[in-house]
Amino acid sequence: VSDYEPWKPDPLSEPWRAALDEVWLKYCTDHYPNGVCAVFGFSKNGQISLTACIEGHTYQPKNYCNGKWRSVWSVVFEGSGSRAELKGVIKAQVHYYEDGNVQFFSSKDIQKQITISNEKQTAEEMRRLVEEAESEYQTAVSDNYRTMSETTFKALRRALPVIQQKLDWNRLTVRPFVSQSCAQLRHNFSTSASRQRVENVLIIGGGLMGSGIAQSCATSGKFNTITLQDVNQKQLEISRKGIESSVQKLHSKKLINIESVDKAVNSIHFTQKIEPKADKNLLIVEAIPELLDAKQKIFANLSQQFKGNDSVIFVTNTSSLSVQEIGVNVEAQERYGGLHFFNPVPLMRLVEIIKNVTTSQQTVDALKEFVADIQKVSVLCKDTPGFIVNRLLIPYSGEAVKMVERGDASFQDVDTAMKLGAGYPMGPFELMDMTGLDTGKFITDAWAKRKDSSLPEMTESKLVNKLVSEGRLGRKSGKGCVFGLILILVFIYETNCGSNETTIKGCEGKVCSDGKRCVCQNPCPPTCRNPKPNPCNTFWCNPNCYLVCDGREVLDEKTGRCKPLNEC
């Protein structure tokens, strides 16, 4: 190695290099917090050459994912007043290595024309062109990774023997890796000056949805502060226990990658009061029950409490109400929109982003980034009733309920038909149990009252109304359609026949039709006396009028008690 020689600035290129270096350093600091940059300059035969480099990276060993970003930009010109060609090459790499190795490479060559003026203006123009090009490229890469099809995954698996042998492509921890990788790129290699990344999260409402959102934020490890607010201290205690239990289960099944359960749970601040802070890049998620007046009041207060903080984004988590109507009291309409999470939040990967007519693109971009940070997939929708999923799902579920009410088929057969015939992972009644019968009822009732020709015709369901009035909401209450100890979804049309008697429509002769339950009061009405039950029917009239078995049991005539159906 020869002795080092002192560096001497090139007198012709140095003023241009220094001006670009100042602009480049700020650009890199703003958009590549984990990266480095450098600017080089020299001249030859009166021509000036400038080269600017960027390198950014993220290493996430606990998530089995690394990413790199590199770009090199160069321009050669003869002095002010001339036109020159700006040349650049961008390279992005994502490496996923849980139980195997998958590496994605992407690169692009770019050429743009630039006008050479003075040193400062030329540096600013070069920065603008680079920012524009990198932003477009990064968005394209992100969209490609996010929309990569299952066919592509399987093709990769066949092409990579190690992956084929070791990687279960259906595992929850593996399937999101593309969106996780995309999130790493978007977080660390943000290339838009106007892009805002959520750093702090405040969730209003400690119920099922609010606690689920808080849990997803906590297990992502991406945020400085996470606050869950509810006016009811008992509800906060329930939320904390529920989050702790859920995180423990997911952690034990290796469905999430976290250092410890306690650390994830303790990262959430539980409080009864909304404490206005000057937190930068704060996202406020309203997740209280679906009551329009209450939601509007919440946002009226929030808008005043956080007035002056221009980095706050306000969103409502609603499944049925108009996002525009909810946020009518929000002053900063450009920083207001909707996020529709699905229950159960920790497991459901989809989030619908609702763009109001006044929502800015900067806010939409920040919400997309937030959804990616919590390792979920976002879709964008206008403020239309039901958004995407419920607009299609509610009519589907409603028709299934009507079929059971009419006696066309039992709810078990409807679920089986849709799973085996249509290829759905669960039937409509199983799905209603998981999402909550009260949620579906609220949406259906709201649609039934709306005078909107674009909506399918909806009518209130007596079946669902009865279940909800009895507190049988599905998994959230332990009782519902197919969840819990008793199968409830058998609608009963009752007519009074006396002070101590009730007769049930649906019993044909002396045996209940499949899918109906005959419930009798003492003294028994004639329709239920001395039936001739088929013990292997799913539902049938109880000859004693006291004990009613569910769909998995039949009455043992010898003992007068229910016994498992498989013993028939």
Q: Indicate the helix (H) or strand (E) that contains 491.
A: none
Q: Which residues pair with 71 in a beta bridge?
A: 54, 90
Contact 163, 101 (CB under 8 A): yes
Q: What is the DSSP string of 74-121?
A: EEEESSTT-EEEEEEEEEEEEEE-SSS-EEEEEEEEEEEEEE--SHHH
Q: What are the two backbone dihedrals, phi and then psi, of residue 239, each rounded to the nearest 5 degrees?
A: -65, -45
Decide if 382 contacts 196 (C-beta within 8 A): no
What torsion do the CA atoms of 399, 401, 404, 408 make, to the nearest 10 degrees? 0
Residue 346 token pair: 């920790």
Q: What's the pLDDT score for residue 197?
A: 85
**Residue of 200, 267, 319, 410 marked catalytic:** 319
Q: How many CB atoms lie within 10 A of CB 385?
A: 17
Q: Is the pLDDT reported for residue 73 higher than 90?
A: yes
Nearest CA-CA partner of 195 in 377, 333, 33 = 33
Q: Between 462 and 565, whose confidence is greater?
A: 462
Q: Could you identify the residue written with the tokens 């997911």? A: 250
Cβ neighbours around 245 below 10 Å, total: 12
Q: Is 390 a catalytic residue?
A: yes
Q: Which tens digit of pLDDT belongs to each residue from 187-238? A: 444 444 445 789 999 999 999 999 999 999 999 989 999 999 999 999 999 9
Whole-number pLDDT of residue 319: 85
Cis check for the bond before 523: say yes or no (omega within 30 of 0).
yes
pLDDT exceeds 60 at position 361: yes
The model's pLDDT over 460-473, given as tens digits with 9 standing for 90+, comes to 787 788 888 877 77
Can you read off the two tokens belonging to residue 494? Answer: 């009752």
d(CA 395, CA 441): 12
Using a cut of 0.85, tell me whether the model's pTM lies above it.
Answer: no
For residues 505-521, give the mean pLDDT: 37
Q: Is the CB of residue 303 less than 8 Å from the CB of residue 336?
A: no
β-strands 282-286, 268-271: how paired?
A: unpaired
State both tokens at 332.
């900063």
pLDDT at 541 exceeding the cut of 70: no
- Condensed to tens digits (0 to 9), the pLDDT of residues 90-129 reads 988 877 665 556 777 788 899 998 988 888 999 999 999 9
pLDDT in tens, 308-330: 888 899 999 998 889 999 999 99
Reported as type and span, the H/E element at residue 468 is helix 462-469
Q: What is the mean pLDDT of residues 124-152?
A: 74
> What percent of the chain has pLDDT above 70?
71
> What is the C-alpha separation between 273 and 167, in angstroms, rounded?
46
- Alpha-carbon separation of residue 327 from 207, 230, 496 (angstroms): 21, 20, 47
Would residue 319 show up in a list of annotated catalytic residues for this protein? yes
- Give the pLDDT confidence of 407-437 residue by residue, as tens digits: 888 888 999 999 999 988 889 988 888 778 8
Residue 460 annotated among the catalytic residues of the structure: no
Token duo for residue 325: 């109507």
pLDDT of residue 91: 87
Domains and CATH numbers, the chain: 14-166 (3.90.1150.210), 194-382 (3.40.50.720), 408-469 (1.10.1040.10), 493-567 (no CATH)
- Catalytic residue, from 134, 286, 352, 430: name it: 352
Element (DSSP H or E) covering residue 268: strand 268-271
pLDDT of residue 103: 74
Name the token pair of 390. Answer: 């419920």
pLDDT above 60 for 538: no
Residue 99 is predicted with a pLDDT of 53
In this prediction, residues 473-492 reach a mean pLDDT of 48
Q: Which of these is catalytic: 13, 190, 239, 390?
A: 390
Over residues 141-160, the mean pLDDT reads: 54
Exactly one of 142, 188, 192, 340 is catalytic; name it.
Answer: 340
CA distances from 25 to 33, 34, 91, 116 (A): 11, 13, 20, 20
What is 348-374 written as a DSSP string? --EEEEEE-TT--HHHHHHHHHHHHHT
Where do the H-state alpha helices sit in 253-358? 261-266, 292-305, 323-326
Q: Give the CA-trace dihedral at 262, 268, 269, 272, to 10 degrees.
A: -110
Looking at every residue in the chain, the average pLDDT score rounds to: 75
Q: Which residues, including other chains, have CB under 8 Å from residue 449's CB and lie 6 or more apart?
A: none
Coil/strand/helix, residue 192? coil
CB-based contact 125:19 (threshold 8 Å):
no
Asked which of 43-47, 85-89, 214-218 is least confident by mean pLDDT, the reply is 43-47
Does the annotation count 95 as an active-site position?
Answer: no
Determine how β-strand 336-341 pairs with β-strand 313-316. parallel
